[in-house]
Structure 1
Amino acid sequence: MLLTLLPVELLIEILSQVSRSDLKRLCEVSKLFNKLATPILYRSVVIKAESEVSLEESLDTKLLNITCRHSENVLRFTRDFQITSSFHDLTHKRCSRNWDFNNYYSGEFQNEDGDILMGKLEQTIIRFLEKLEDGQLCNFRYIITTFEAWSPADLRESWELGTCIPEQLLSSYNGQLQAKQNKIKSIQLVMDGSCYTHDFVGTPDLTSFQNLKCLSLIGLNQFYFESLWGTFNGISDQLQELELDFVDWQAIDYDPDSPENYFAEEALGMSRKDKICIFPSLRVLLLSRVPFQPFQRAMAYVFGFTHLQSLRLQLCPGWEGFLAHVQHLNSQIHLKTLEVQHTMNCKDSMGEGKQLLTFLHAFDSLEELFVSTSGPSSAVDLWHAALKHGATLKRFIHHQRTKHLLAPCAAKHLLKVLHIRGSGSDALKYKSFIMQRDKYINNGKECPKVTTKFHHFAEWIFRPEDFPSMKVLATGDFSHNGQYSKTNVILCQREVSDPPKTISGRFYRFAKESDAGLWLLLETYSSALAACPTDSILEYWA
């Protein structure tokens, strides 16, 4: 085999680009490839709970059991550890701490020392962590999103379950990660912000991670403010990426008419008159449902813009005042990505639109601009403001609830992907205008069938004389890392080589798993497809 003649370093680099399935096949036919590919295969370990409601009962531990029986500790190669489950709704049944208060205080869930007893979920995690060397982990993730850029020498862990965090993992007195893996550089958590156990179980203690560079917290509530203050007080100056998502404003007692801002005062430890930069090294900042008012001016000082390249503001009350003060305080803004999602039911949506236009004219060199407007602000004015960044702009997304027709696309020969977005939660509840409920049978298999109106639209989009560069027509909700992927529809241009029976229309067909180039194109534009999500990552019920 000619590949074996290549230098080992080059061969490893080639194997790193091979899909996992193909890599496994190579391991089965060659001892050399088995030796070289094993570190690559075990770089990422995924443990998944199949049931959204019953995590402990449906947790798949087969992979972990196999690694534990392996003659050598293959987990020493692991750099990406994920514990994940698909979830949509907020439900206490999913959490391993779904106790009755009387049972908790009776001691049923405590050992002789008063510590919370571990369930199957916690035991599985501890078994994994015990296979690692001290200080091996560099990244810990308990989340739904991922950082795209990371060093092969770093290890990241993911907990994608949307529950509160076991104290055996992250606590000041018995946390396994603090004790054994305090060199972690990245922490990402998706938690249950409505969980009632925080007041007696405790919140994650992050103060021990002095090497932390990236922090993502989703599903926060007021119980986390003290933990956040301690974390920020110790390491805020070194954080390079920060994501805070409160999911539900009620979780932090936010009142738009109040002169107070509990997040700013308790989590950041600041007053309205402060002029302190708490995060001077930030490169990436994503804030969702984080209130700025009435601290807009003070918070403009908090987040340093010297190095900031990506700013995403999703449903943040008072964001327009925040941007106005940022513009006033910073003579040079170096943003490459800007996302602004207007707050729903805003009283002055026109005012919000004007402030965004002013901010866009204050600098240039944006590469990505994602905007979701809720009022009647002029789309044309926004597009003119975007032209200020025309020389560098690569992705421009504008979602607007309006009855006005969009102007025709002036550069049809550049258009590769068209996304018709819909709410994922709506797609699960209501009749689709894209897909018919009945399906047709092809070679004994059920195949999807588009509605007549959408069929005509797709035919027009993929007709060569109209949009010759069009590659993909995507419909649905691509937010939150594919949470609603089952409701999405992806069409592509029909190829001459496609068998007639597989064709959905004269000029288009459904995407197939084997369309490698198409999926690569979608990955390239994944940030644009997921921008400005209409639904929260968890549905909070009143």
Structure 2
Amino acid sequence: MESLPVEVFWAIADWLPPQAVRSLSQVSSRLHSLFIPLLYRTVKFRAASEFALNVIDIDTFFHLHRFSQDSCYLQYVRELSIHAPIVLSRFNRCAYFNVFRSSANVNSVSTLGTLGTSNEGKAHEQFLDDISRQLQLVQARLKTNHLRSLQLRWRLGACVPPGFLDSGGYIDRHQKGLHHISLATDGSCPHSGNCLGGLCGLSSLKSLEWEGIQQHVEVDILRSCILRNRAQLVALSIGFIAPVATEDFYQFIFGVTLTDSKPCNGSDYASIQFPSLRTLALSKAFLPRQLRPKEASFFISLQSLILRDCAGQLAFLGSFSRSQIIPRLRHFEFCSDGLLHTHNGNRDVSPLVDFLLSLDNLKHLHLRLSAFSNTSQIQLAIEKHRSTLESFAYHERGLLPIDEEGLFEDIRDKTPEWLYLMPWIIRPYQLTALALCTEPSALRSRLEPMARTSALQILHFRFSGSEKAHRNIQAEIHTHLSKKYQSVSNGTSPIESFQPTYCGTSARNLSIGFDDHLPDSLVEPMDNFGISNRPSASISEAEEFVKFADWAFGPNGLPALQVLAFGDFSFEDRYQNQQFSMHRKCGDRICTGKACRDPFSGNTRDRNFCVGDVMNPPRWDLFQANGFNFLSICPESGLMDSPYE
């Protein structure tokens, strides 16, 4: 063992669950020196409750790890994440914003006096002081510039305290070599952006994500940061709380002024400004309605384009198509509400169809359309790319009757009109990931004739919407399974008597750098917020889903299927009661780690699947599609929007 190369041990560690690596690190001093840096390469600190974002488990970490500054495990950290659940979202993210305030967007600090009493200012200051104190414990033990090759994530969705990301703060002075930074801040706070000036000093960023932008000072910082890193910037993701109108989109966001003159080599000015940019994601941005050909070339080098609820995005795509410049996109995601983001009430989906028809060789196509007309045209665009598509998601919502008489209508999920033509529209024997909004029985009837040749690894029944927000679909399925496969004794209810055994590695086992002091669920039960968790009176939907799972994982089902998901998985735990997943039972090439048993029967041979922990699946990296990210695509709302607001 002493003679084996270090690379061999690292290769082994990549295939082992974290707890196994932790155990191996205790075998010998050499293995300890090899594996401990790997275990603590990524550390995630969390605020367990959305109603106490200033209570992060940093104090708990230092209580359980009593080391000197020189021997602290944090010296190995290359990826630091500070995370919190965003379920009810902006209800309690900032002392200057709450559900009782009529104005949701505060545009300037000058309005501070109208926001309430001075108690808000004191609460806000105390909140930042609490976070700052905990951050200083971590900062003092990180190696200078040791985070340069990986990433630093701040995902609280709250205000950032002074001394951390501001000009002259810790990041600006000690971690200037960062390659990736991910921010989720609360732009509705009048102080937002005051402590983010240090972003302008970073010059090695390859990936920048920032969600929750609203203040003008934030936009100025964003533009300065983008320009400083434009030479090597590969991925850029920008999300606003609300669209910010601007006449010059390129100057406003990218700081680029397009002129009529071109460089002597004949290439466009904009493409020279961002030679490495391959991925662009825009959420609630304001896109130009008219696009000249030279402006379209700004996007020509992109391989991935994501547009989510941007003002004018449909007209933007239509104008792009008319430019006759064909981008080299391999991944395209489009999310739009026809009632909110169309011009003069025109909900024609034709510009999107024209844009998709102008593309070639798409590998990943993800669409979410709400309240659009003539959506049947979409099948023409989908059919064009069927020979190259590897993942496909389609989520459509429209006006549907909500009563038996059909007198009342509301926006609801709907089955695509082209589903009956599925074998000619998409190819299940080529797709590895599929997400559709339809009934399980309807999809099964289309898949059965070609089931044995299916290459599907991930299948997602995509449902969402406010009509499901007060339902606990997870409990409904648990109730159905426990009634069918487990006898209830001692007069207890099915939910009380049923405690599922999850397949694979639990969330607790995947908390690298922590002893077992964190709960598996970091979000408080929804009962505490006045939302019922009881199953609905009818569980026919749950029964239909379980029947589909029995077929899909069975001998006559989909042979490559590894994950079957049901519900809304956008924004992790936000819609946790609408989520349910099943994995193929342990023993195959995907489901590895702890042995699992059927939680609904003592006989493990009765079933071909087990309850899955989708947040921490056995091995997402073995899937051809991008695992959990695929289940989270096309969110129904913005990150900083509350589904209950």
* TM bracket (short chain): 0.7 to 0.9
Residue number in structure 1 paired with 2:543: 455
- Distance in 2 separating the partners of 1:424 and 1:49: 27
Match of 1:304 among 298, 306, 309: 298
CA spacing shift, 1:272–1:126, aligned 2, 3 Å: same
CA spacing shift, 1:303–1:30, aligned 2, 3 Å: farther
TM-score, structure 2 as length reference: 0.68
- Distance in 1 separating the partners of 2:157 and 2:258: 33
- Distance in 1 separating the partners of 2:29 and 2:637: 48
**Superposed displacement of residue 389, structure 1:** 2.5
1:366/1:389 contact within 8 Å kept: yes
Residue number in structure 2 paired with 1:489: 580
Aligned pair 1:55/2:56, yes or no? no
Residue number in structure 2 paired with 1:221: 214
Aligned to 2:299, the other structure's residue is in SS state: coil
Percentage identity across paired residues of the two chains: 22
**Superposed displacement of residue 40, structure 1:** 0.3
Match of 2:184 among 156, 181, 190: 190
5+ residue gaps, structure 1, are 111-115, 139-153, 255-259
Residue number in structure 2 paired with 1:127: 137
- Distance in 2 separating the partners of 1:191 and 1:519: 29
Aligned pair 1:529/2:529, yes or no? no
CA spacing shift, 1:310–1:64, aligned 2, 3 Å: farther
Residue number in structure 1 paired with 2:286: 291
CA spacing shift, 1:317–1:528, aligned 2, 3 Å: same
In structure 2, what residue type is equivalent to 1:195?
C
Aligned pair 1:239/2:233, yes or no? yes
Aligned pair 1:435/2:476, yes or no? yes
Residue number in structure 2 paired with 1:145: none
5 Å-filtered alignment, 1:189-208, equals: 189-198=183-192, 201=194, 203-208=196-201
Match of 2:150 among 148, 155, 169: 155
**Superposed displacement of residue 80, structure 1:** 0.9
- Distance in 1 separating the partners of 2:182 and 2:293: 23
Match of 1:397 among 384, 393, 399: 393
5 Å-filtered alignment, 1:483-522, equals: 483-485=574-576, 487-492=578-583, 501=601, 509-512=609-612, 516=618, 521=623
CA spacing shift, 1:434–1:67, aligned 2, 3 Å: closer
- Distance in 2 separating the partners of 1:279 and 1:334: 16
Residue number in structure 2 paired with 1:257: none
TM-score, structure 1 as length reference: 0.80
**Superposed displacement of residue 490, structure 1:** 1.3
- Distance in 2 separating the partners of 1:247 and 1:283: 24
- Distance in 1 separating the partners of 2:369 and 2:49: 36
Match of 1:342 among 304, 329, 336: 336
- Distance in 2 separating the partners of 1:303 and 1:481: 35
**Superposed displacement of residue 56, structure 1:** 2.4
Aligned pair 1:6/2:1, yes or no? no
1:479/1:530 contact within 8 Å kept: yes
- Please report the RMSD computed on the Cα atoms of aligned residues, expressed in angstroms: 4.1
**Superposed displacement of residue 54, structure 1:** 1.2
Aligned to 1:474, the other structure's residue is in SS state: strand
**Superposed displacement of residue 264, structure 1:** 5.6
Which structure is richer in relative contact order (CA contacts within 8 A, separation 6 or more)?
Answer: 2
Partner deviation per Cα, 1:275-310 (whole Å, 9 max, x = no partner): 96254431110011112144x426982772343111
- Distance in 2 separating the partners of 1:302 and 1:64: 52
**Superposed displacement of residue 72, structure 1:** 2.2
5 Å-filtered alignment, 1:100-179, equals: 103=118, 119-138=129-148, 154-172=149-167, 174-179=168-173
Aligned to 1:206, the other structure's residue is in SS state: helix
**Superposed displacement of residue 332, structure 1:** 4.2
5 Å-filtered alignment, 1:261-340, equals: 261=247, 266-268=252-254, 277=270, 279-294=274-289, 296-297=290-291, 301=295, 304-329=298-323, 331-340=325-334
In structure 2, what residue type is equivalent to 1:467?
G
1:247/1:289 contact within 8 Å kept: yes
Residue number in structure 2 paired with 1:142: none
Aligned to 1:55, the other structure's residue is in SS state: coil
CA spacing shift, 1:427–1:133, aligned 2, 3 Å: same
Residue number in structure 2 paired with 1:147: none
2:582/2:612 contact within 8 Å kept: no
**Superposed displacement of residue 179, structure 1:** 1.5
1:59/1:121 contact within 8 Å kept: no
- Distance in 2 separating the partners of 1:515 and 1:76: 28
- Distance in 2 separating the partners of 1:391 and 1:205: 46
- Distance in 2 separating the partners of 1:472 and 1:70: 43
1:491/1:508 contact within 8 Å kept: no
Question: How many matched pairs?
Answer: 509
Match of 1:28 among 26, 29, 35: 26
In structure 2, what residue type is equivalent to 1:535?
S
Aligned pair 1:212/2:264, yes or no? no
- Distance in 2 separating the partners of 1:302 and 1:462: 49
**Superposed displacement of residue 426, structure 1:** 5.5
- Distance in 2 separating the partners of 1:443 and 1:522: 41
Please say which of residues 283-292 and 437-446 is displaced more in the overlay.
Answer: 437-446
**Superposed displacement of residue 51, structure 1:** 1.7
